[in-house]
Amino acid sequence: MTDVKAPPPEQKPHLIAPIENVPLRVQVADRLRAEILSGRLRPGAGLVETALAEQLNVSRAPIREAIQILENDGLVETIAYKGKRVKPLTAREVAETYSLREAFEVMAVTRILENGAPLDILRQHCEEMKAAAKADDFAALVASDEAFHHALIRLADHDLLMASWRNLYMRIHQIMALRNRDERNLEEIAGNHPPIVQALADRDTERAISLISEHTRILAAFDPDEIVEAM
């Protein structure tokens, strides 16, 4: 009897991601938002439509619309008779942002210890920060630092906590970037994180909470008036 060969498995077609037709105003808003949150456009910096249009090689209309988006985000404000500027940070806003951040991250640490979440992703981000510090790559350090804290919240496995964290995300990102940019001791910034992971690995609740609280308070300890640019 002749063996009947099974038909070859059907191969799935290779999928190519579609080209996204993102409105120009959204592209411009994303670019300006990144500049603000990274600290390159500092609090108090004026936003002049003609200058921005020339820099980004677009007309003034999408610049105006993008600035309105950022104003709705709370990152830009209007000053009477002067125009638009990156919204300055106040000492109260920094304090309130970091008091909430501390509460969120303490809760995250507690839940991670309760549910025994794996810590590999936190260790990975620690290694990325270490490499960025060694290379004196500030942008990479900020990205890895942010990823570490986002992962900490995600590992808590609490949907409402994650949603609340996202509401604080933009200000936290901006404050961290500004504070870290002024410090510039990248190795010290990177070195603050591995002890937190080790405390979690040791299942030492008291030490983990103490370390994350201390870390948050240190980051909050700067005067926002020192980083405001004159218009």
DSSP string, 124-143: HHHHHHHHHHHTT-HHHHHH
Q: In Å, how far are 19, 78, 84, 228 from 81, measured between CA atoms?
A: 42, 9, 10, 20
Q: Which residue has the tokens 């940019």?
A: 181
Domain assignments of the chain as residue spans, ordered by start:
24-86, 91-222
Other CB atoms within 10 Å distance of the CB of residue 214: 14
Say which residues have a Cβ less than 8 Å from residue 131's Cβ, sequence separation at least 6: 140
Res 231: pLDDT: 34
Calculated CA dihedral for residues 127, 128, 133, 138, nearest 10 degrees: -160
pTM over 0.75: no
Full pLDDT tens readout for the chain, 231 residues: 555 555 666 666 666 766 567 889 999 999 999 899 888 898 899 999 999 999 999 999 999 999 999 999 889 999 988 899 999 888 888 888 889 999 999 999 999 999 999 999 999 999 999 999 999 998 888 889 889 999 999 999 999 999 999 878 888 888 877 776 655 688 888 999 999 999 999 999 999 999 999 988 876 666 666 654 433
Res 14: pLDDT: 61
24-86 and 91-222: identical CATH topology: no
CA dihedral (90, 62, 72, 173) positive or negative: negative
C-alpha triplet 177, 151, 221: angle, nearest 5°: 35
Other CB atoms within 10 Å distance of the CB of residue 203: 11
Classify domain 91-222 at the CATH topology level. Four Helix Bundle (Hemerythrin (Met), subunit A) (1.20.120)
Instruction: Tell me the CATH architecture of domain 24-86.
Output: Orthogonal Bundle (1.10)
